[in-house]
A and B are shown apart, each in its own frame.
Chain A
């Protein structure tokens, strides 16, 4: 039938470019990794990979990854659920401001957060008395700092749209507030809490910049270990083995998160009126304030530290942003910032274009079995990159794209492409729910009124999508600006991005380099925060909720 053929052609047209891009920049690196890890010397051999995974140091790294991520997840969920209640369910003055503050870490570059906690807890820092410097606790604290927003957003959104009537019915039947929570609230929230916890664990277990800055060689997670094995020890087969392990675990966790989300109520959203806070809500309010403090203190301290040189106030750290005085430092901060912005522009249009095509391809209504199968297949394919951490992606690019069939080592597009792939899942996550939420009959009505498929897209899809699309653009841009995991493998040393340069500055001896790194972190944070404020202005529901 011509109709169904046309529909299939349209689907393939939409999906074609993303499929090719994924094929080249995802499948190629991953197969190179598998080759390196499991086919050393061209023959299938699990021995070296197994040996690498059984090393004492590897086991320690594995244990530390699980332990630190688990501890951080537990603390994040406990704080986050209370804060979500206080900020999304109670009528608190200033709740919106606190919500925005809590969102801030979400787009703060990992390197910036690493620097912030380092100067906060390190020698001479305001919280040095805690003695957490160089301990796993600094890493856990930074992970909580990072992920609080995920829990507050995800659980808060679910809580906000929770139908209050079952709870009211239970209360009318004589249930105490605790019983109401158990019988009505918790079952409706459980999906979002489990989903948020899984995602937080995933983020913690794959966090890279923070761990690298705060843990160095001593406290390594799988991610930083891959980096160290690759760039310091040059043990590529071992790094590949760890990448494969990482990939498997991440896919497993994503499947768990998917299942948890599946149980979530997708029913009617009822905008419940915010509740007037009472005395019983005091603990939750305090937790929300503590969460805001946890976010504010490192950032505030970072900003203050940037104006200190020795024991005096000074602008010297900022003056040095444009000065190159050490041959070990390849570029000035300003040059790196310009470089970062250029890369981010490229990465953003790539991520948004791909994300848009993918979202349109997977959300169209399917006619017929073949089309449905094909769409399901594409859906699964496009979710694959979610399973790759940025470091794994960077490592894969590093080993796969420097030789035929594709040699991109010196291409200026390598870094933007990698960053676009890192940002792609985020873009898809923002756009797909919006597109899926459109009643298909809107498109049918437009078509029946004489609108061509293209006009229908403009009148129906684009009309509701331009705001989320702008938000996705903003997020992709900030993700790209702060991207460190993949970029650390790929940035050419003479053209570092700002996060790469900050890391370089931290590792170069000299107190003034540290000061420059702090000032550069403030600048980078300011740029990403500006983008965040613009996105928040758009008030796209569900952004940042996973």
Chain B
């Protein structure tokens, strides 16, 4: 059973397709993340689902019925923007209760649901504050509570955490996942941040130039990016092709492949390493030391060193071990 079905959808801006024959489905209770660089059409896709952009061709169906003639406010979805777009003329509680009030729910129900939601997002003490007195993270929590107020069939999240700083983003991503699960919410999330997608989504679709290039669970996509661009977008550091790939896979004791993508920690300084490299540069990071090494037959790659004294200095030879779960064979080989 599917809740949302995007079927061969094309959306044009001034003639050029921003969304190009995209098909996706979202099942009830599932969080689907559409991940892609800015300008890839993911926001347009979301806006089309919300009913803010007309489709040039194809269809969007919810619970099996076509939405083409249903205006935004009758779709029963809720849209949350990266900067909240709270109504500053209303209090926090007023914002959260807004969707309930416009549906003329009884006052008692509104106030109990608002209290419940503010509790859920951890802002029970802020009910009477004005949104513009809150920090960015708090505003996003209010926006989330407002979007969840009437238990929308589908929650649409447009880069919900992107406007926040890194530490807050990490924490809120975990909270978001928990809150969505607690409410049993079905959600479509678009983001350019793969960590946000990994933290929140059950399934993800990778979008580029208006098209979906890959989809699957985060683990599937993560383990086998479809091509080099997908790999670097997912945070892989380097992509090796041909002989260097073979050398590296051989050292890891893995079957050979044409193309392999490496994370920055795919090579680790280790006494019993199968490869040897010369240190070109190093930089300390919290917990590890990040190196750039030149490995004969592979080329210039990144590596990490844990523990003291293992890395020597620039120009020193180090022994390197390949960490198999920090690399991915591309395109199925």
Chain A interface (Cβ < 8 Å from any Cβ of B): 1-4, 6, 367, 369, 439, 441-442, 444-453, 455-456, 459-460, 463-464
Contacts and interface: CB of A to CB of B under 8 A. Distances in A.
Given A448-B156, A450-B103, A463 B89 contact: yes
Contacts of B71: 3, 6, 447
Nearest to B103: A450
A450 B102 contact: yes
Contact of A445 (B81, B102, B149): B81
A444 B99 CA distance: 13
A453 B50 CA distance: 15
A298 B80 CA distance: 57
Contact of B73 (A4, A369, A439, A450): A450
B37 interface: no
Among the interface residues B72, B147, B150, which one has the most CB atoms of the partner chain A within 10 A? B72
Contacts of A452: 73, 102
Interface in B29-76: 47, 50-52, 54, 69, 71-76
A449 B102 contact: yes
B144 to A, nearest CB: 12
28 contacts: A1-B54, A2-B69, A3-B71, A369-B14, A444-B47, A444-B52, A444-B72, A445-B80, A445-B85, A446-B87, A448-B156, A449-B73, A449-B99, A449-B102, A449-B146, A449-B147, A449-B150, A450-B73, A450-B76, A450-B99, A450-B102, A451-B102, A452-B73, A452-B102, A453-B73, A456-B73, A463-B89, A464-B89
A448 B47 CA distance: 10
A258 to B, nearest CB: 26
Nearest to A455: B102
A448 B102 contact: no
Nearest to A7: B54
9 smallest beta-carbon distances between A and B, as pairs: A448-B79, A463-B89, A447-B72, A449-B99, A445-B85, A447-B73, A441-B85, A3-B54, A442-B85
Contacts of B2: none
B112 interface: no
Contacts of B75: 448
A265 B102 CA distance: 39
Among the interface residues B51, B98, B150, which one has the most CB atoms of the partner chain A within 10 A? B98
Contacts of B220: none
Given A441-B81, A447-B51, A463-B89, 5 more contacts: A444-B79, A448-B51, A449-B102, A455-B102, A459-B87
Interface in B76-120: 76-81, 85, 87, 89-90, 98-99, 102-103
B54 A448 contact: no
Contacts of A448: 50-51, 72-73, 75, 77-79, 156
Nearest to B99: A449
Chain A binding surface SS class: helix
A315 to B, nearest CB: 48
Given A447-B73, A448-B75, A450-B150, A4 B85 contact: no
Interface of B: 14, 47, 50-52, 54, 69, 71-81, 85, 87, 89-90, 98-99, 102-103, 143, 146-147, 149-150, 156
Contacts of B143: 445
A442 B80 CA distance: 10
A18 to B, nearest CB: 26
Nearest to B55: A1
Nearest to A453: B73
Contacts of B50: 444, 448
A6 to B, nearest CB: 8
Nearest to A459: B87
Nearest to A445: B85
Contacts of B146: 449
B87 A449 contact: no
Nearest to A369: B14
Nearest to A3: B54
Contacts of B73: 446-453, 455-456
Contacts of B80: 445
A444 B89 CA distance: 17
Nearest to A4: B54
A452 to B, nearest CB: 5
A449 B98 contact: yes
A449 B81 CA distance: 12
B161 to A, nearest CB: 17
A439 B85 contact: yes
Contacts of B54: 1, 3-4, 367
A446 B76 CA distance: 12
A464 B99 CA distance: 19
Contacts of B69: 2
A261 to B, nearest CB: 27
B102 A460 contact: no
A449 B76 CA distance: 7
Among the interface residues A2, A439, A441, A455, which one has the most CB atoms of the partner chain B within 10 A? A441
Contacts of B74: 450
Given A447-B73, A448-B156, A463 B90 contact: yes
Contacts of A446: 73, 87, 98
Among the interface residues B79, B103, B143, B149, which one has the most CB atoms of the partner chain A within 10 A? B79
Contacts of A3: 54, 71
A231 B274 CA distance: 106
A2 B67 CA distance: 12
A463 B156 CA distance: 25
A357 B103 CA distance: 27
Contacts of A2: 69
A374 B85 CA distance: 29
Contacts of A456: 73
A382 B205 CA distance: 48
Nearest to B53: A367
B58 to A, nearest CB: 14
Contacts of B150: 449-450
Contact of B79 (A4, A445, A455, A463): A445
A450 B143 CA distance: 15
A127 to B, nearest CB: 50
Among the interface residues A446, A453, A463, which one has the most CB atoms of the partner chain B within 10 A? A446
B175 to A, nearest CB: 21
Contacts of A442: 85, 87
B145 to A, nearest CB: 12
A3 B150 CA distance: 26
B79 A459 contact: no
A459 B98 contact: yes
A451 to B, nearest CB: 5
B107 to A, nearest CB: 18
B78 A449 contact: yes
Contacts of B47: 444
A451 B69 CA distance: 17
Contacts of B149: 449
A460 B78 contact: no
Among the interface residues B79, B81, B85, B143, which one has the most CB atoms of the partner chain A within 10 A? B85
Contacts of A455: 73, 102
B248 to A, nearest CB: 47
B99 A460 contact: no
Contacts of B98: 446, 449, 451, 459
